[in-house]
Structure 1
């Protein structure tokens, strides 16, 4: 998976199966960044992989660990066994005994509800039905809870199927009948059988889908490393927003995800083009995103309290991002 170190190959199954107690302490393992990903890297991860390669090219070792779900990856951050996590862990931050903070918004929620129209032609038909989301505590689960409130329904079962590409295949094979998909998955399913599958309307939400987060002590003790990471993310995101074809070109140059199935490889261009069109990737790291997040995650039941009473500094650590924007501009 590119030039940076990854345990996704021969060790991938072992890492996914291991409990957090079985992982090494990140601080003692290396002088660099250990990134915990609660999913298997696919095309929606390419922008992050490109940015991480940029970090490595600046002399900082990067290790990517792929877990079988965000809950396992989150626990690795809480326990100090990985440095940086990917997700939107508002509920964990509110409950954790150690201070965890988000420090960079990677993307906003842009998921599409797709269903087998023969089983679930509309939301009302899904009252008491089964719905698949990414992982427990994810933005897709929060959106599902919001839909229950907006539509006045209650899902009979919410199942957890990590990875939009995995849920795409599950929908095509009939293993699930309704789920959230990203742009690539939505395109693939609707192209495969537009008569069978239907898209269901979802609320217009501008909250965080994925962020980077870490223990506050790690962020404060590794300021230079964090600064490099944020600079590379910001530069990569701006390149993509200017020209989405940058992703495919960099993937080829860096040799990223060489084993990607051909049907997914064809979706790289459309995925990033449509993501840019819908404003999925912020140019400023989401420095003003907290208010939208507080509104969404409280309504969806992921955060306790009233949005106006929640404090940004209790969930976000924006100091390194603000320094970056001072030099790179907003």
Structure 2
């Protein structure tokens, strides 16, 4: 059974604060997986994959929730966890750390929400103001990309940190257009679907959450990383084929048993919106994802220069994914 721990960062390192699932048998090998924030139903694709990988490998995955992506990255390079889920690009680039991505789990998903009393199409947005989270953020990069994709120019891109703050401004009418993540997009548009609408947007190709590990861990655990990649491919393809599958498989596999009912009830609605939004790639990312990420990071100001200045092999180990695709098949 997957084990879930809540970890807190302290001066001495990482300390276990609570265990909510069963402890693995002492003789079994435990693979420590870390990600930012606590687990919810939105994490079921990776939890399903890990549960199935456990059966094949005879190991136990211990999923830990850490304070931030930076803490996850530090835990990986300090060997406090084995596999991280998040974004290691900046850490790899800045520290030249021996860490590589190996599987794309989710793409970035921000949606342009507008007040339909003022704007109804992208043409209407030419010269209009767009509110984003912060300078150099993913939302700013998305806004710049949307200008190019729709042949428009925003009058001003304003920086308003916090989705909740932007939602309040949209409700009050002091803000007419903003970029929101999937949960907050749903919250606002469901409150008043006539007033708040989502403008059409192409499938977003930049990465949001990627599996990564040290080069040593990947080299020393080739079978494990490949099998995990295979099961992730299978899980994401199931989710894309049937957004109701995560809720059903949660029950069948005994995952997230203590999930509060409101969060459990939100599982299927979330995936029914996420799947059409293109959040879950079915090919594991690889070279194409890396190139798209370079463009995105440059647009966001996190990387300097041009796409050609960055080498895929400096950020990704493609071998596990290529082996998994050869086994499972390309979609």
Q: CA separation in 2, counterparts of 1:158 and 1:146? A: 20
Task: Indicate the structure with greater strand content.
Answer: 2
Q: 2:45 aligns with which of 44, 47, 69?
A: 47
What residue number does 2:252 align with?
253
Correspondence for 2:161:
158
Q: How far apart are 1:312 and its partner, in Å?
A: 0.8
What is aligned with 1:32? 30
C-alpha change, 1:93 and 1:152, in structure 2 (3 Å) is farther
Task: Could you tell me which runs of 5 or more consecutive residues in structure 1 were left unpaired when the two chains were aligned.
Answer: 25-29, 160-166
1:181 and 1:68 map into 2 onto residues whose CA distance is: 19
| Contact 1:32–1:225 (Cα < 8 Å) also in 2 | no
Map Cα deviations across residues 88-128 of structure 1 (whole Å, 9 max, x no partner): 2221111124211110011222222457999xx9898867x
> Superposition pairs for residues 172-251 of structure 1, below 5 Å?
180-182=180-182, 184-194=183-193, 197=196, 199=198, 205-251=204-250
Deviation at 1:316, TM superposition (A): 0.7
Q: CA RMSD in A?
A: 3.7
Structure 2 gaps of 5+ residues are 16-27
Distance (Å, rounded) in 1 between the aligned partners of 2:43 and 2:137: 16
Q: TM-score, normalised by structure 1?
A: 0.76
Give me the whole-angstrom Cα distance separating, in 2, the residues matched to 1:66 and 1:239: 25
- Deviation string 1:214-270 (CA, Å, 9 cap, x unpaired) is 111111111121122111111111222222221111112223334444444333223
Note if 1:304 corresponds to 2:304: yes
Instruction: Give 1:137 deviation, angstroms.
Output: 8.7
Q: Structure 1 35/113 Cα, relative in aligned 2: closer, same or farther at 3 Å?
A: farther
Matches within 5 A, 1:79-90: 79-90=78-89
Shift of 1:32: 3.2
The equivalent of 2:14 in structure 1 is 23
Aligned match of 1:293: 293
Report the Cα offset of residue 147 of structure 1: 7.3
**1:275 Cα shift?**
2.6
> Partner residue of 1:328?
328
Alignment of 1:74-153 (within 5 A): 74-114=73-113, 132=133, 139-140=138-139, 142-143=141-142, 151=154, 153=156
**What is the rounded CA distance, in whole Å, between the counterparts of 2:136 and 2:59 in structure 1?**
31
Aligned partner of 2:24 in structure 1 is none
Aligned residues: 305
Q: Within 2, Cα distance between the matches of 1:19 and 1:170?
A: 33
- Identify if the C-alpha distance between structure 1 residues 48 and 188 changes in structure 2 by more than 3 Å, giving closer, same or farther: same
Distance 1:258 1:230 in 2: 25
Q: Answer whether contact 2:33 2:61 (CA < 8 A) is retained.
A: yes
Compared CA separation, residues 140 and 251, structure 1 to 2 (3 A): farther
Give the deviation of 1:145 after TM superposition: 7.5
Q: Relative to structure 1, is the Cα distance of residues 32 and 172 closer, same or farther in structure 2, using a 3 angstrom cutoff?
A: farther
CA change 1:152–1:126 in 2 (3 A) is closer
